């Protein structure tokens, strides 16, 4: 009996040893296969990553790299140098619309008589009311002796294009429109602006230009109409573009002036504009409010500003 038990024990031990060996060898083989496969996949991934970073691919937008956003320019020296060459008073702000930052300023919160700049408040309100359906752009608004019957839309255009008082005066005299402009001024916290825009500051005028530039509540049709009014101002009895616009030769100047002359001198000459350096992808909002400074001086300011931007964009 003891011999039978011993043989069975040896048989079990031998069987266990053989099974264990087979399992160990199989596991080693599988491990080697997996390691080799992992190394091969890793090599393919590295090759793929290298290729993806070195292949000369074209951007989805063919113009995306043509005009990359340029660096911010500090333009304070332009303002400081110009102020040394003029008499009279000025309030100035240059605002970089791309970087949302003031590029230069001087007396920006000083209050000046706005003259016809106030029309910009009524024009923006007018286009906003058209978008809401509260005003009909094709409805008769006023009759003038030199232009005949004018619609509401025609008056909004002329109030910028020719600073046309026969449209602006009745619009300002309308209690509802006047009240809306006052509400607009308070809504945007234009604390330096009073009398529905007749008194204002360079800071507030730049804020208004920023509202125009964003035009979040206007359609593209309205915005294009405004741009055309501010850019294509024809020669009339007055030269509407003798200030800032005449100082620029490269940039587009979307402009509105407000002035008052007395005894053959400019007691007020104000100029506000959105400046578009298209090729350099730079955009500025500029307000220059003055007392006893000539438009020729403001043109020189525009010329110096353009030269500084172009020279620093190379």
Over the range 261-300, which residues count as b (16 or more CB within 10 Å of their CB) and which as e?
eeeeebbbbbbbbbbbbeebebbbbbbbbbbebbbebbbb
Give the mean pLDDT of 171-189. 98
Q: Which two tokens stand for residue 255?
A: 């402009």
Residue 57 has pLDDT above 70, yes or no: no
The pLDDT tens digits of the residues spanning 211-237 come to: 999 999 999 999 999 999 999 999 888
Residue % of the chain over a pLDDT of 90: 75
- Band (21; pLDDT cuts 50, 70, 90): low
Q: How many CB atoms are located within 10 Å of the residue 195 CB?
A: 15
- The continuous run of DSSP H or E covering 7 comes out as helix 2-54
The pLDDT tens digits of the residues spanning 121-151 come to: 999 999 999 999 999 999 999 999 999 999 9
Tell me the domains of the chain and their CATH numbers: 76-312 (3.40.710.10)
Give the mean pLDDT of 159-174. 98
Lowest mean pLDDT among 26-30, 94-98, 195-199, 238-242: 26-30
The pLDDT tens digits of the residues spanning 249-307 come to: 999 999 999 999 888 888 999 999 999 999 999 999 999 999 999 999 999 999 999 99
Q: For residues 69 and 262, give the distance between their C-alpha atoms in angstroms, rounded to a whole number.
A: 45
In 55-188, the DSSP E strands lie at 89-96, 101-106, 112-113, 140-144, 148-151
> What is the model's pLDDT at position 113?
98
- The continuous run of DSSP H or E covering 22 comes out as helix 2-54
> What is the model's pLDDT at position 49?
34
251: nearest Cα among 213, 212, 302: 302
Lowest mean pLDDT among 12-21, 137-146, 235-244: 12-21
> What is the model's pLDDT at position 104?
98
Would you call 180 helix, strand, or coil by DSSP? helix
C-alpha torsion 218→224→228→229, nearest 10:
-20
Question: In Å, how far are 29, 35, 122, 161 from 40, measured between CA atoms?
Answer: 17, 9, 71, 71
Residue 8 has pLDDT above 70, yes or no: no
pTM of the complete model: 0.78
Would you call 282 helix, strand, or coil by DSSP? strand
> What is the model's pLDDT at position 311?
96
Average of per-residue pLDDT values in the chain: 85
- Band (69; pLDDT cuts 50, 70, 90): confident
């Amino acid at each position: 009996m003891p011999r039978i038990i011993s043989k069975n024990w040896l048989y079990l031990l031998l069987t266990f040893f053989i099974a264990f060996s087979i399992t160990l060898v199989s596991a080693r083989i599988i491990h080697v296969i997996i390691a080799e496969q992992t190394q091969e996949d890793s090599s393919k991934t590295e090759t793929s990553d290298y290729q993806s970073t070195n292949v000369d691919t074209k951007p989805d937008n063919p113009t995306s790299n043509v005009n990359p956003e340029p660096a911010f320019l500090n333009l304070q020296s332009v303002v400081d140098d110009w102020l040394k060459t003029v008499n009279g008073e000025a309030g100035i702000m240059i605002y970089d619309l791309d970087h949302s930052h003031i590029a230069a300023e001087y007396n920006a919160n000083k209050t000046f008589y706005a003259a016809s700049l106030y029309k910009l408040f009524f024009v923006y309100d007018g286009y906003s009311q058209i978008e809401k359906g509260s005003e009909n752009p094709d409805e008769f608004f006023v009759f003038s002796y030199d232009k005949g019957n004018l619609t509401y839309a025609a008056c909004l255009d002329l109030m910028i294009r020719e600073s046309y008082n026969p449209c602006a005066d009745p619009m300002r005299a309308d209690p509802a429109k006047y009240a809306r402009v006052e509400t607009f001024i308070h809504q945007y916290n234009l604390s330096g602006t009073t009398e529905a825009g007749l008194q204002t500051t360079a800071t507030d005028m730049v804020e208004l230009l920023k509202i125009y530039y964003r035009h979040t509540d206007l359609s593209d049709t309205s915005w294009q109409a405004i741009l055309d009014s501010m850019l294509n101002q024809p020669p009339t009895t007055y030269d509407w573009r003798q200030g800032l616009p005449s100082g620029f030769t490269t940039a587009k100047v979307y402009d509105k002036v407000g002035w008052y002359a007395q005894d053959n001198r400019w007691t007020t000459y104000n100029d506000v504009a959105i400046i578009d350096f298209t090729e350099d992808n730079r955009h500025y909002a500029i307000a220059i409010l003055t007392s006893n400074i000539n438009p020729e001086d403001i043109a020189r300011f525009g010329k110096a500003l353009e030269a500084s931007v172009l020279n620093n964009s190379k």
